[in-house]
Amino acid sequence: MSHTPRGRSSRKTFQPKAPGPSSKSFDAPTTLGAALTRLIAIRGLAQERGDAQLKELWSDVAGPKIAQRTVVMGIQRGVLQIAVVSSAMLGELVSYHKLRLIEELKTREPRLKLRDIKFRLRGDLAPPELKDP
């Protein structure tokens, strides 16, 4: 380290700037639209609306017989998760309806980017009259 004639070091030390009119010590104002979008995301309202739309789409595509015996659980990585109330219905869906349902869902709602449907047995969701004997 070299010294200046006055005996000080030639290195500069970091001095933080005091907040002033040119520094950003506050968040910039947001638009009303941006604030509402953030509020909706925080409250989870968009997710609730999306879930309701997905359930309605499933009900339309599957039909009343299947829709009353299934519950939409959500979509994870392009795979629609469907709970099924009985093993008989599960077998029927996998064997006879799965491909048709996937194609119909892709046609009606391509934004879902649906890859597959996963059916899961959940007898606890069924009303007593729909459970297997």
pLDDT tens sequence for the chain (133 residues): 555 556 555 566 555 555 555 555 556 667 776 776 665 556 544 455 567 888 999 999 999 999 999 999 988 889 999 999 999 999 999 999 999 999 999 999 898 889 999 999 987 876 655 545 5
Sign of the alpha-carbon torsion through 22, 25, 29, 34: positive
Say if residue 114 is exposed, middle or buried (CB neighbours under 10 Å; 0-12, 13-18, 19+): middle
Q: Note whether 83 and 122 are within 8 A (CB).
A: yes
For 32-128, CATH number?
3.30.300.180
Q: Which residues pair with 83 in a beta bridge?
A: 71, 120
Q: What is the pLDDT of residue 67?
A: 93
| Every domain of the chain and the residues it spans | 32-128
